[in-house]
Structure 1
Amino acid sequence: MCDHHEPKSIEGRKGARETQSQKKSTSEMKKAGLVFIPCPGIGHLVSIVEFAKRLIDRDDRFSITILVIKPPSSHPSIDSYTNSFSASYPLIQLIDLPQLHPPNSLELSNSHENYLTLYIESFKPHIKDVLGNLIGSTHSHPNSPRLVGLVLDFLCLSMIDVGNEFGLPSYLFLTSGAACLGLGLYIPTRHDRVSTEFSESDPEFLIPGFINPVPPRVLPSAVFNKDGGYAALLKLGKRLRDTKGIIVNTLLELESHAISSFCDDQTPPIYTVGPLIDVKGEAQNKLGSPWSHSKNNNIMKWLDDQDPLSVVFLCFGSMGIFGAPQLREIAQALERSAHGFLWSIRVPPTTTTQGKAENPEEMLPDGFIERTRGKGMVCGWAPQAEVLAHKAIGGFVSHCGWNSIMESLWNGVPLVTWPMYSEQQLNAFTMVRELGVAVEMRLDYRGGGFGGDVGTL
């Protein structure tokens, strides 16, 4: 074991903190202010808000300000979420940063990761202004919280420089699991030896945090892009060791091998705080449109009528969008499987010339809805946390976003992995090969295919 910074959980620190707090005089009980900076995107925002809520619930001497960087494209669900949140937790303040012009679209075509890091870095002047105002408020109003640190999402690690300007320590909040942290730490180490991007023809890698050798096919596509994604991830990986600690949304019991492998003098202390789950589905209930909410009751009533463990839930996250041909293939597989299903389909909002979203049912095979009525249900949005907690759900086909994985494990729902982008393939590899808690989606040329994988649940 590494006594200098043995992995810690939030529960393990509670007793020590309470003992120390009892010794503090009243004058020393001033609130400590933290500034959280999540990546653009609703999934990252919800995850970091859940962490903020947990901190406040455990110690109300914290005051937390979350700086919301909105995605370059419109995302009304973020506005809906932020507008409805603040009244519930007065010690957590959400500040919308101004919308800025995104980088050149050529950067997006080269690499999504590099595009986002450039976009986030453009907010540095605005973040400096916010930090300056918060510190100034402390000087002018003695009862104001004293700003003590930054909590940064992975793609926001360039803000370490901003924190240093104000003498503030920075901590990483990792919305993915500890195994993904291993890749982030491995990229700079490997680059010192190889000095080039990854190749799909490379042999399997021995990456810290993984028990098994990792095949190139499960790595994020960015690591194969020399001038875009790889350069961005290399730069971010080097900044990991500049943080004062790494906070991971995972459980020590789940990823004990990964976490213990980072116990060395070169890696900042690791703190496990998971699972950060919106058990009541409060966040998701704030995200859907009024049309979505009207469908919510129909979904739950339909599930109430199904037998226990009889329904497979298919949901692929806020960015999990399939084209019509793929949707038809999935529909045919579901029909062949003869299993009950609840299928959440997202379509892009500009798929028609009028700029309105298509009805997902219109993209499915003729007669599919009628033939599967009673046995299956198709919806455009579903309250995922609430659905996964329902007794009728017997399996979950997921894109393997980490939040979705945590919700599935929390509710004891068997998982079929269908990773789509970013680190999701690595998450799927972790669940299937490393931990053995999921079934891998397979390509079956003999015709079983997806329907067969559903059957294994």
Structure 2
Amino acid sequence: MEQTELVFIPFPTIGHLSSALEIAKLLTQRNPRFSVTIFIIKFPFETIDGMDTDSDSVRFVTLPRVEVSSGATPSGLFLSEFLKAHIPLVRDAVHELTRSNPVRLAGFVVDMFCTHMIDVADEFGVPSYLFFPPSAAFLGFLLHLQFLHDYEGLDINEFKDSDAELEVPSFANSVPGKAFPSLMIDKESRGAEMLLHHTRRFRHVKGILINTFIELESHAIQSLSGSTVPVVYPVGPILNTRRGSDGGQQDASAIMSWLDDQPPSSVVFLCFGSMGSFGADQNQGDITCVRAQWASLLVVPSPTSPKG
């Protein structure tokens, strides 16, 4: 039975990396012919403590650390330039992988922030798939903004501190400009430029894997079924259910017990990526709003954010 190899290139933060690992394990469990090599990119600063897998069909290859001077590069573009600098390392690693292993390279699965690696997949003559850890609604949001910017001249930065609202097909309700991600409407960081660049590349992959499921986002997933968007695969929910320390298990048990005691449909869940948080004022506003509707409230603040 011929083995088929997939190369995963996740964004090097724990949220993106751990969910990519779970998808890789799921693929190899569903089809024993698949094996997966996950390339680990190392930031100049540590964002992950390390990863391991209990699957014989999934392995890690840590790429050498690349030093990229931020210099005068705007913060929103530095990340993209840093990841782009790894193209030669990824190319060499794939050459070594195909040389040392008698397997057929079937394709790349690249993170939403690693779309530069699509060019490497093209060099090897294999298709690229996009792994999109956020929601289907947010994918539709990015694609819609990119279309409006490129074809209708929309200036995304004008939404900063704006009361204007934007109709987005993947959202049931209009989106207030004030709710746009801060990186997207910060002109100095040029974050919108970075996001738009990657979003354009989304349209050139063979398919998009999203950590969601139809029952959760039926409206958003349906809105992405147009001919201008690659086929979308809702592969979620992808969960890492392994526990860390005993203290973490005790905390999780207490939270689950509390949730079990709440009435159905009475809990609001706010979820961030590993590098995201709300400020103290925003947290307090959310708590006040939720308490106005529900008697019970569970708050789990981020211990790494002094302002949260």
TM bin (shorter chain): 0.7 to 0.9
Count of aligned residue pairs for this structure pair: 295
Q: 1:133 and 2:90 equivalent?
A: no
Q: SS at 1:65's partner residue? A: strand
For structure 1, which segment, 30-39 or 245-254, has the greater mean C-alpha deviation from structure 2 after superposition?
Answer: 245-254
In the alignment, the residues of structure 1 paired with residue 272 and residue 233 of structure 2 have an alpha-carbon distance, to the nearest angstrom, of 28
Change (3 A) 1:340 1:155: closer
Q: What do residues 412-436 of structure 1 show as CA deviations (whole Å, max 9, x unaligned)?
A: xxxxxxxx8xxxxxxxxxxxxxxxx
1:343-400 superposed Cα distances (whole Å, 9 cap, x missing partner) = 454137xx9xxxxxxxxxxx9xxxxxxxxxxxxxxxxxxxxxxxxxxxxxxxxxxxxx
Q: Are 2:84 and 1:117 equivalent residues in the alignment?
A: no
1:90 equivalent to 2:56? Answer: yes
Q: Distance in 2 between matches of 1:62 and 1:302?
A: 38
Shift of 1:115: 2.1
Match of 1:257 in 2: 219
Please name the residue that 2:304 is paired with: 347
Using the size of structure 2 for normalisation, the TM-score is 0.82
Contact 1:111–1:222 (CA under 8 A) maintained in structure 2: no
Write the letter of the residue equivalent to 1:197: I
Q: How high is the sequence identity, in percent, across the aligned residues?
A: 35
User: Which residue in 2 is equivalent to 1:211?
Assistant: 172
Larger Rg: 1
Structure 2's unaligned 5+ residue stretches are: 289-293
* Structure 1 alignment gaps of length 5 or more: 1-28, 139-143, 286-292, 352-362, 364-419, 421-457
- Distance between the aligned counterparts of 1:225 and 1:300, measured in 2? 36
- Counterparts of 1:8-407 in structure 2, within 5 Å, are 29-75=1-47, 77-79=48-50, 82=51, 85-86=52-53, 88-104=54-70, 106-107=72-73, 110-112=74-76, 114-138=77-101, 144-191=102-149, 192-194=151-153, 196-200=155-159, 201=162, 203-226=164-187, 228-278=190-240, 281-282=241-242, 284-285=243-244, 293-296=245-248, 298-299=250-251, 309=261, 318-319=274-275, 343=300, 345-347=302-304
How far does residue 204 in structure 1 lie from its aligned partner after superposition? Answer: 1.6
Provide the rounded CA distance (Å) in 2 between the counterparts of 1:211 and 1:342.
Answer: 27
Equivalent pair of 2:13/2:274 in contact (CA under 8 Å): no
Q: Name the amino acid aligned to 2:304.
A: V
Report if the CA contact (8 A) 2:172-2:219 is conserved: yes
Distance 1:303-1:203 versus aligned 2 partners, 3 A rule: closer
CA shift in 2, pair 1:295/1:105, >3 Å: farther
> Measured at CA, do residues 38 and 329 of structure 1 come closer, stay the same or move farther in structure 2, by a change above 3 Å?
same
CA deviations 1:13-33 (Å, max 9, x no partner) are: xxxxxxxxxxxxxxxx31110
d(CA) in 2 for partners of 1:124 and 1:64? 19
Identify if the C-alpha distance between structure 1 residues 58 and 308 changes in structure 2 by more than 3 Å, giving closer, same or farther: closer
Taking structure 1 as the reference length, the TM-score comes to: 0.57
